[in-house]
Amino acid sequence: MNRPFDSTDHFLNAFNRGFKPLLDTGQLGTFILVLANSSFDARLKTELQRDIDHVFHTLYRRFEEQLLGGEIPPESDEDLLVFLKIATVGIDRISKSETRRIGNWEVQFNPLRAFRPRRIAAAVTEDVALPFCRESFHFNKPFMDKEIFWSGLLEGKTIDLYYNKYPFTQAHGLLVPERSKESPQQLTEEYHHYLCTLASTLEQTLPGCGFGYNSYGAYASVNHLHFQMFMREHPFPIQHSQWQHQGGEVSYPAHCYRTSHPPEAWQLIEQCHQNHTPYNLLYIGDSCYILPRVRQGSDTPPHWSSGFSWHEMAGGMLTSSHTGFGEVSTESIGQLLQSASTTL
């Protein structure tokens, strides 16, 4: 594939064209990926609904025959469990994602995220780093190759950009730099400066493009260095001009440090490392947002959330509960952000 980063239209067209070939493989993992992305994008759902239904029923019949015959389906246990949940609910009853604004915040109902594997995001952690483990899930697993949207040289490094299997933002991808090195989810100064350069460069041709990062202990789900790429038509709540870190007068509920100087940002990140403090990051244009936070497992997420990652800390609440989607309030979001946060 040619480089898709020349314009927003070019990128989105290339991104969306990739779903039909993925679905045509008839494989379980790519079926789940396309289903989840279509539930987030109404236009994609309309375009692919007939094919999605066909692949679902084909897979259902195959699994039924294999299990009745005493065979073990070759697919991963993670994907089989997700398929079981989809089959239990019913393919026709998978709700589409919804988003609403309340006060300063966004709230998104995203039902398929309830089906996703939690992996290390469910672990009780004690540090901000964990050695890479080849036995655990990582992006070099052979079955992951088909989920790559684009691979190539980008700003001097070889990267693989994967489709996010359970998206919650437009053109949601997973950027894995130099994946053959099998680096754990532990940010280094080199990769920090790379992301600063990349975010600043891509904003010139892809306005609204940025990257989110969860450290280990801050709801990262995979211990293989990666960043979550997104496209936004409107700024995140954390970018609003009223906040003190944006030059305004209002305190953001979570402790947020924003800087346009990569060395200064690295000093703050390194302070998190030295203090064993988990953190979430956003790289948007020339800005880096650093959000130190309490460790996963020691926080108390609300019943409608599986935990606050970079997206929630940026003011975008995610829930797979329709009840939670309706009952969350401006006041409760502010309190939750404050309780999830800590100082350096």
3-state helix vs strand vs coil in the chain, percent to 5:
40, 20, 40
CA distance 197 to 200: 5
Range of the domain at 62: 1-96
Structural domain count, the chain? 2
CB 192 within 8 A of CB 262: yes
Residues 120, 4 within the same domain: no
Whether residue 168 sits in one domain with residue 287: yes
Residues 71 and 193 in one domain: no
Strand ranges (DSSP E) for the chain?
98-102, 105-109, 148-154, 157-163, 170-177, 209-214, 227-231, 257-259, 279-284, 287-292, 316-319
**Could you read off the pLDDT tens digit of each residue along the chain, which spans 344 residues?**
568 999 999 999 999 999 999 999 999 999 999 999 999 888 999 999 999 999 999 999 999 999 999 999 999 888 999 999 999 999 999 888 999 999 999 999 999 888 887 665 566 777 788 899 999 999 999 989 999 999 999 999 999 999 999 999 989 999 999 999 999 999 999 999 999 999 999 999 999 999 999 999 999 999 999 999 999 999 999 999 999 999 999 999 999 999 999 999 999 999 999 999 999 999 999 999 999 999 998 888 899 999 999 999 999 999 999 999 999 999 999 999 999 999 98
Q: Do residues 189 and 139 make contact, with C-beta atoms less than 8 angstroms apart? A: no
Asked if 59 and 148 sit in the same domain, the reply is no
Q: What is the CATH number of the domain that holds 282?
A: 3.30.428.70
pLDDT of residue 269: 98
Domain shared by 134 and 262, yes or no: yes
Both 90 and 152 in a single domain?
no
What pLDDT is attached to residue 251?
A: 97
Region of residue 307 (left: phi > 0; alpha: psi -120 to 50; beta: else) = left
Q: Is residue 38 domain-shared with residue 71, that is, in the same domain?
A: yes
Domain final residue, candidates 72, 96, 120:
96
Mark whether 211 and 314 lie in a shared domain.
Answer: yes
If asked whether residues 33 and 109 sit together in one domain, one would say: no
173 and 308 in one domain? yes
Structure confidence at residue 120 (pLDDT): 57
Say how far residue 108 (Cα) sits from the centre of its chain.
14
Could you give the CA distance from residue 140 to residue 86 in angstroms, rounded to a whole number?
A: 27
